[in-house]
Chains A and B, each alone.
Chain A
Amino acid sequence: MTTAALLRRPVLRLRRMPKLDRAAFAAVGLLLLTVAFGPLLAPYDPYHVDLGQAMLPPGAEHWLGTDSSGRDVLSRVLYGARPTILGSLCAVGLSAVIGVTIASLAALGPRWVDDAIMRICDIALSLPIMVMALGISVALGPSLRSAIIAMVLSWWPSFTRLARAEIRTTMTSTYVESAMITGVSRWRLMTRHVLPNSLDSVYVQVTLEIGGATLIMAGLSFIGAGAQPPSAEWGAMVESGSRFLTSAWWTAVVPGAVITLTALAFALAGDALRARTSGREVI
């Protein structure tokens, strides 16, 4: 399904939406704009260290103050949207692509392939992402890349499971069954008919998971397994600011609050999407 198709659906018809959902979509839009244009808006160089300007409280010069190295917190928050949100988007997006591909293979292949894939999912799902990421950071060295790899490694199976279930449902629909009878090849059937009709819930899931992924990405950087200095990744900002909660609270509180708002916006938007696409109510 193309983006245009998605837009034509009632999903994003704003007028009929509750205020809260509208706010959530607006916030998500704003965050995506920040990812795209944040660096252009930043008033200062987020990496420029000026030890003479350290820990200035929020004021006219620096709206959100400066950190312990004299860097502008607002500029860093704006730059940090990329590693944090884009990094999470990458991780979830890649997981979804890999997950769906593998689910299609499972559906196309013989029974034992399906079985094997499900077992591999079990294995990957038994490792919490934090633990997996720390293992990987020992193997590959800590970096944003390692964090994304770890997230993808432990995330794709949930998409595989979801997509597999949806594909199975679609496969049994009359429409697909009749296509099968007309002798369409399995491959064509999958790419032209089954997948396009099975992916709605995957899109919703992606939106829902981005909020959680942001939390994990920030958490990984916080414990030192993710983005490294001088990155303005939000979790890393919380980490370096945590020492100064008594003397310069803004260095830790601001990035933490931004993480919370981001996760909240994506969670609400995902919920709204899910409610609309499935017609079901959300748990």
Chain B
Amino acid sequence: MNLGRSLTVTRGAGLGAALLAVATLTACTAGGTTSGKSTTPATRDMLTFGVDGTLPNLDPILASNSTVDQAVVPVYDALLDFSPANEIVGRLAEKWTVAPDARSIAFTLRPGVAFHDGTPVTAKDVAYTLERIKKLGVGVAESVAAYDKTEITDDTHFTIRLSTPSSLFLGALSKVYILNSKLVQASAGSDDGQAWLATHTAGSGPYTLASYTPNQQIKYVRNDSYAGADPRIAKTVVYRLLPESATQRDELESGNIDVSDGIDPIDVPAFEKNPRFEAVRLKKPQGLYVFFNTQKGATADKRIREAVRLAYDYQGHAKTILRGFGSVAAGPLPDTMGCRADIPDAKQDLARAKELVAESGQKDLKLTMAYQQIFSEHAEAATALQSALKQIGITLELKPTAYPNYLESLKSVDTTPQLALLWDNPPTPDAGSLLYRTYSSKFLGSSTNYGQYKNAEVDALLDKAVASGDETARCAEYKKVQELIEADAATMNIADHETVIIAPKGVTGIELYPAHVGYVPQAYKVS
């Protein structure tokens, strides 16, 4: 599509000479090319997104993983979603009513919506999707654990019943992507379609999957029969896997990708100055934390936890490691969430930290921290913390840990790392969605209570809030929970993240969708 230029060489020379051209290297190619495309910003049919990390399994049950969520969000619809203003808005659902006891929700589906193969979306598909999640018990299952059953009234009317009252359930449905039950059942083996859905889709979303090459790229084509189709969105969307941020930068500059959210902050100013691009700065529903093993070893001592928290240079982290694209954390919730308690920014105080270590009576303390060395922010924060702790007499050993292994280690208090550096993304913008799964003792030994945290008062408050239908009361309880957690120094909250999306000039609609950490390509309007 772009290369007209260098043909003179090839045409005249034929294979042999052209191979020689390879041999004599750049000399020959020098005249020919820049891979830059001079696309005009006005209209474009295709948007190519640089994607950091693996292009993964496409089974939407795994949408609790942000990489999977990003890959399935163009293809599937959930019943509802959160708007950029943190409000719940309908997608497949037209209307919903939560019962006052928070034990059931009555839904009405938008009429006339169909899956990509033309089958209409019905209550049966919703029921199938939720039953499948309950049965498999993985991925998003944790956040819809309260699900009991679906009572189908007719094709567009149904009621979801919960086994326990849950105010979190409705929001959690934003990650329950509705499957075409007929298609999945027809293609599934004995595994409820897990293998099939890993590389195929069965959705009703604004894009259809055109091709999928694991670990290389995913290509989507606009679904023009989508109800409420927006003609302003790109006809073709491509996700291209480019794990190195430097590569994303260079490819963006030369026009081989159009959009990137993985540009190293240090390179952002250059794009801000470049008239071809727009740099949109958004808050990201993500924070960086250190979770302590609150039950076992030296970190069970609150004074040690507090000392570690006081040793770190938070300002330096926000300014140097994040290069200003993020802010010092204030409390256990990222700043994209609602109902945040009024907790001051984390601060460094080495003198107090030393005192606390002395008070604890620990000498020559050695701690171990798990971290994911493949992420540069992790590696930099880990070494910075190690260096900081040395100043208060604590030796920190760094243990590179693959994420699946980390999750496995959480199964028992004994294997849970003393410290673990972790990015955490709230499942939904609802404060309870993060607090409940991370700090309720109900989730001890599961893969979400990272600190094996247990506090009876917190438990009681969380149970009460989650079961409550009263939004104001709930919010007050969540705030109290945050204060208690903070008083326990349960977690070291490092920073809230911002993301910069670099996109071609003229593309609009780039906003934060607080339930999604990655791209939401159907929001990008190209004309």
Q: Are A240 and B376 in contact (CB under 8 A)?
A: yes
What residue in chain A is nearest B383 (Cβ atoms)? A230
Known contacts A47-B386, A69-B380, A228-B400; is-contact A243 B245 (Cβ 8 Å): yes
Which of B14-22, B316-324, B475-483 binds A? B316-324
Q: Are B398 and A228 in contact (CB under 8 A)?
A: yes
Q: Are B380 and A47 in contact (CB under 8 A)?
A: no
Instruction: Tell me if A10 is interfacial: C-beta within 8 Å of chain B.
Output: no
Which of A20-28, A49-57, A158-166 binds B? A49-57
In the complex, which of the residues B317, B320, B321, B398 contacts A230, with contact meaning CB atoms closer than 8 Å? B398
Expressed in whole angstroms, the Cα–Cα distance for A229 and B401 within the complex equals 12
How distant is B222 from chain A, measured CB to nearest CB, in Å?
35
How distant is A135 from chain B, measured CB to nearest CB, in Å?
15
Q: Are A246 and B374 in contact (CB under 8 A)?
A: no
Q: Are A224 and B374 in contact (CB under 8 A)?
A: yes
B384: chain A residues within 8 A (beta carbon): 49, 51, 69
Chain B: interface residue total (CB-CB under 8 A): 27
Instruction: Tell me if B387 is interfacial: C-beta within 8 Å of chain A.
Output: yes
Known contacts A54-B320, A228-B373; is-contact A244 B266 (Cβ 8 Å): yes
Known contacts A47-B386, A69-B384, A142-B400; is-contact A240 B379 (Cβ 8 Å): yes
What residue in chain A is nearest B264 (Cβ atoms)? A243
B383: chain A residues within 8 A (beta carbon): 47, 49, 69, 229-230
In the complex, which of the residues A47, A141, A242 contacts B246, with contact meaning CB atoms closer than 8 Å? A242
Known contacts A68-B380, A69-B380; is-contact A229 B319 (Cβ 8 Å): no
Q: Are A51 and B317 in contact (CB under 8 A)?
A: yes
Expressed in whole angstroms, the Cα–Cα distance for A141 and B405 within the complex equals 11
Instruction: Tell me if B313 is interfacial: C-beta within 8 Å of chain A.
Output: yes
A224: chain B residues within 8 A (beta carbon): 373-374, 400
What residue in chain A is nearest B245 (Cβ atoms)? A243
Expressed in whole angstroms, the Cα–Cα distance for A47 and B316 within the complex equals 16
Residues 111-147 of chain A: 1 if any B CB is under 8 Å from the residue's CB, otherwise 0? 0000000000000000000000000000001100000
How distant is B386 from chain A, measured CB to nearest CB, in Å?
6
Residues 81-103 of chain A: 1 if any B CB is under 8 Å from the residue's CB, otherwise 0? 00000000000000000000000
Expressed in whole angstroms, the Cα–Cα distance for A153 and B387 within the complex equals 34
Q: Are A51 and B379 in contact (CB under 8 A)?
A: no
Instruction: Tell me if B388 is interfacial: C-beta within 8 Å of chain A.
Output: yes
Instruction: Tell me if B45 is interfacial: C-beta within 8 Å of chain A.
Output: no
Residues 462-477 of chain B: 1 if any A CB is under 8 Å from the residue's CB, otherwise 0? 0000000000000000
In the complex, which of the residues A47, A229, A247 contacts B379, with contact meaning CB atoms closer than 8 Å? A229
B379: chain A residues within 8 A (beta carbon): 229, 240
Q: Are A51 and B246 in contact (CB under 8 A)?
A: no
B320: chain A residues within 8 A (beta carbon): 51-52, 54, 68-70
Residues 59-74 of chain A: 1 if any B CB is under 8 Å from the residue's CB, otherwise 0? 0000000001110000
Expressed in whole angstroms, the Cα–Cα distance for A230 and B386 within the complex equals 9
In the complex, which of the residues A48, A50, A51, A246 contacts B321, with contact meaning CB atoms closer than 8 Å? A51
Instruction: Tell me if B382 is interfacial: C-beta within 8 Å of chain A.
Output: yes
Q: Are B388 and A49 in contact (CB under 8 A)?
A: yes
Q: Majority SS of interface residues in chain B?
A: helix
In the complex, which of the residues B244, B266, B390 contacts A247, with contact meaning CB atoms closer than 8 Å? B266
Instruction: Tell me if B267 is interfacial: C-beta within 8 Å of chain A.
Output: yes
A247: chain B residues within 8 A (beta carbon): 266-267
Q: Are A51 and B319 in contact (CB under 8 A)?
A: yes
B246: chain A residues within 8 A (beta carbon): 242-243, 245-246
Expressed in whole angstroms, the Cα–Cα distance for A141 and B409 within the complex equals 15
Expressed in whole angstroms, the Cα–Cα distance for A243 and B321 within the complex equals 13
A228: chain B residues within 8 A (beta carbon): 373, 398, 400
Q: Are B267 and A229 in contact (CB under 8 A)?
A: no
Expressed in whole angstroms, the Cα–Cα distance for A50 and B374 within the complex equals 22
How distant is B147 from chain A, measured CB to nearest CB, in Å?
37
Expressed in whole angstroms, the Cα–Cα distance for A141 and B402 within the complex equals 9
A69: chain B residues within 8 A (beta carbon): 320-321, 380, 383-384
How distant is B214 from chain A, measured CB to nearest CB, in Å?
19
Expressed in whole angstroms, the Cα–Cα distance for A52 and B318 within the complex equals 11
Expressed in whole angstroms, the Cα–Cα distance for A51 and B321 within the complex equals 8
Expressed in whole angstroms, the Cα–Cα distance for A49 and B389 within the complex equals 11
Chain A CB within 10 A, most for which of B244, B246, B249, B317: B246
Expressed in whole angstroms, the Cα–Cα distance for A229 and B382 within the complex equals 8
How distant is A174 from chain B, measured CB to nearest CB, in Å?
52
What residue in chain B is nearest A244 (Cβ atoms)? B266
A68: chain B residues within 8 A (beta carbon): 320-321, 380
What residue in chain A is nearest B379 (Cβ atoms)? A229
Expressed in whole angstroms, the Cα–Cα distance for A48 and B387 within the complex equals 5
Q: Are B267 and A246 in contact (CB under 8 A)?
A: yes
What residue in chain A is nearest B386 (Cβ atoms)? A230
Residues 354-390 of chain B: 1 if any A CB is under 8 Å from the residue's CB, otherwise 0? 0000000000000000000110100110111011101
Expressed in whole angstroms, the Cα–Cα distance for A142 and B398 within the complex equals 12
What residue in chain B is nearest A246 (Cβ atoms)? B267
Expressed in whole angstroms, the Cα–Cα distance for A52 and B315 within the complex equals 9
Contacting B at CB under 8 A, from A239-257, are 240, 242-247
How distant is A235 from chain B, measured CB to nearest CB, in Å?
14
Expressed in whole angstroms, the Cα–Cα distance for A8 and B390 within the complex equals 49
Expressed in whole angstroms, the Cα–Cα distance for A243 and B323 within the complex equals 14
Expressed in whole angstroms, the Cα–Cα distance for A246 and B263 within the complex equals 13
Expressed in whole angstroms, the Cα–Cα distance for A230 and B383 within the complex equals 6
In the complex, which of the residues A51, A240, A245 contacts B316, with contact meaning CB atoms closer than 8 Å? A51
Chain A CB within 10 A, most for which of B313, B317, B384: B384
A230: chain B residues within 8 A (beta carbon): 382-383, 386-387, 398
Expressed in whole angstroms, the Cα–Cα distance for A245 and B246 within the complex equals 8
Expressed in whole angstroms, the Cα–Cα distance for A244 and B380 within the complex equals 14
Expressed in whole angstroms, the Cα–Cα distance for A232 and B245 within the complex equals 22
B264: chain A residues within 8 A (beta carbon): 243-244
What residue in chain A is nearest B398 (Cβ atoms)? A229
Residues 206-246 of chain A: 1 if any B CB is under 8 Å from the residue's CB, otherwise 0? 00000000000000000010001110000000001011111
Expressed in whole angstroms, the Cα–Cα distance for A246 and B253 within the complex equals 13
What residue in chain A is nearest B317 (Cβ atoms)? A51
How distant is B67 from chain A, measured CB to nearest CB, in Å?
19
Expressed in whole angstroms, the Cα–Cα distance for A177 and B380 within the complex equals 63
Can you name 19 A-B residue pairings with CB atoms under 8 Å?
A48-B387, A49-B387, A50-B316, A51-B320, A51-B384, A52-B316, A68-B380, A69-B384, A224-B400, A228-B398, A228-B400, A229-B373, A229-B383, A230-B383, A230-B387, A240-B376, A242-B244, A246-B246, A246-B267
Kindly list 5 other residue pairs between chains A and B, CB separation below 8 angstroms, not including A48-B387, A54-B320, A69-B380.
A47-B386, A49-B388, A51-B320, A68-B320, A243-B264
A-B pairs, 10 with minimum CB distance: A51-B316, A49-B387, A51-B320, A230-B383, A49-B384, A54-B320, A229-B379, A247-B266, A229-B383, A228-B400
